[in-house]
Amino acid sequence: MTQSDYEFTSESVSEGHPDKVCDRISDTVVDMFLAADPLSRVACETLATTDKVILAGEVRGPASVTKDAIVESAREAIRDIGYDQEGFSWKTADIDVLLHEQSTDIAMGVDAAGNKDEGAGDQGIMFGYACRETDALMPAPIHFSHQILKSMAEARKSGAEKGFGPDSKSQVTLQYANGMPVRATSVVVSTQHDEDMDQDEIRELVRGHVLKVLPEGWMCPEDHFYVNPTGRFVIGGPVGDAGLTGRKIIVDTYGGAAPHGGGAFSGKDPTKVDRSAAYAARWVSKNVVAAGLADKCTIQVSYAIGVSHPLSIYFETYNTGKVDEAKLASVIREMVDLSPRGIRERLALSNPIYRPTSAYGHFGREDGGDGHFTWEKLDLVDELKSAFA
């Protein structure tokens, strides 16, 4: 029996968190190659520490994407995030680009040739999830955690609020009753700040963003509202902690409310099913919930390297489903092409659309019609309703 009354916690980290700096740089490289050639292959990992950035990995793409161009784009990413401080600045950081040609063995499995369709870039399992806790059909704790930090970043970058630094983290714990969130029991926000800022001042600035994001009446008790619990957060970013691409995969997805297959997203072109199939799984699960076929839905898909079709498709609707889960899997197989090529073409994933995904979550974001977050579209709803009419 599913527990219906409980507390659940999720965290988020800002674009200035060291790991997110690395995700941003890696996705900047992906966009550079895809802008030059939509069929480029990219697997870019980034390491950031005190005034040092190292990019490594495998690529296959046009020679016009030079190392010098990558270095300048990495600097621009750091500048846009907001780092121009002692120990880590877009002006002074030493940036090494150690990217090399993609393995011919991997390329042979992925590329279409003769009667062979484009294959998956790796083996693995990917999950998608949706639920009715928010308008975005996302779990509420991770959704609110993202929105708090996004609001703070927008105020910092617009100049509306002075004193916040780029590096910050949030954590929201919600009380659930009958399986739905009803209020916050604790909120934690740690934010980098100017040295001369008073902690009480910081607390009140942060409070405004929390109140803006949480539904009215949901604010936690005052003694469970934690802002910079250590009392000071001046040293931040890669000066305080080294960063790595792909180290915040639970922040990137559902905040622990749903499974994660293990693979990271950032720095990978869409032939890598770690990324593209996870996007497709979110797309399918969101449309299932939006179509009224379930109030909560997880889908798992699995792949083998070089093989074009998914090996398995599994649905779990947590006793909220209005239709048979086995039939749902069968209908989705017929309705949606979940091959790497099918996903890439249906969701237009070969476009340079990945930089915005590198912070504040890959899911629950608005499809603004500009080609970003196409996996958030609700274009399967009518077809799903018809299939189960």
Alpha helix stretches (DSSP H) within the chain: 18-36, 67-81, 104-110, 140-158, 199-213, 249-252, 273-290, 325-335, 340-346, 381-387
Q: What is the DSSP letter of 374?
A: G
**Is 103 annotated among the ligand-binding residues?**
no
- Answer yes or no: is 379 a known binding residue: no
Place of tokens 């190292």: 54
Asked whether residue 168 is marked as a ligand-binding residue, the answer is yes
Parallel, antiparallel or unpaired: strands 124-131 and 296-303: antiparallel
Is 52 annotated as ligand-binding? Answer: no
Cα–Cα distance for residue pair 119/189, rounded to 1 Å = 43
Residue 45 marked in a binding site: yes
Catalytic residues: 17, 19-20, 45, 58, 169, 233, 241-242, 247-248, 268, 272, 274
CB 277 within 8 A of CB 123: no
The H or E element spanning position 43 is strand 41-49
Q: For residue 67, say whether it is annotated as part of any ligand binding site.
A: no
- On whether 216 is known to bind a ligand per the annotation, the reply is no
CA dist 7 and 1 (Å) reads 17
Binding site annotation covers 169?
yes
For residue 248, say whether it is annotated as part of any ligand binding site.
Answer: yes
Nearest to 35 by CA among 259, 353, 326, 256: 353
Is 147 annotated to bind ligand?
A: no
Residue 68 in marked binding region: no
In three-state secondary structure terms, 117 is coil
Structure tokens at 122: 């790796």
Select from 360, 340, 328, 339 the least CA-distant residue to 269.
Answer: 340
Say if residue 285 carries a ligand binding annotation.
Answer: no
Name the strand (E) or helix (H) holding 149: helix 140-158
344 among annotated binding-site residues: no
Residue 347 has phi, psi (to 5 degrees) of -100, 5
CA dihedral 34, 96, 264, 167 (to 10 degrees): -110
Query: Annotation-wise, does 247 bind a ligand?
Result: yes
220, with CB counted inside 10 A (0-12, 13-18, 19+), is buried
8 labelled ligand-binding = no
Would the annotation count 268 as a binding residue? yes
Which residues are annotated binding-site positions?
Answer: 17, 19, 45, 58, 102, 167-169, 232-233, 241, 247-248, 264, 268, 272
Which residues are annotated binding-site positions for ATP?
Answer: 17, 167-169, 232-233, 241, 247-248, 264, 268
Which residues are annotated binding-site positions for L-methionine?
Answer: 58, 102, 241, 272
Which residues are annotated binding-site positions for Mg(2+)?
Answer: 19
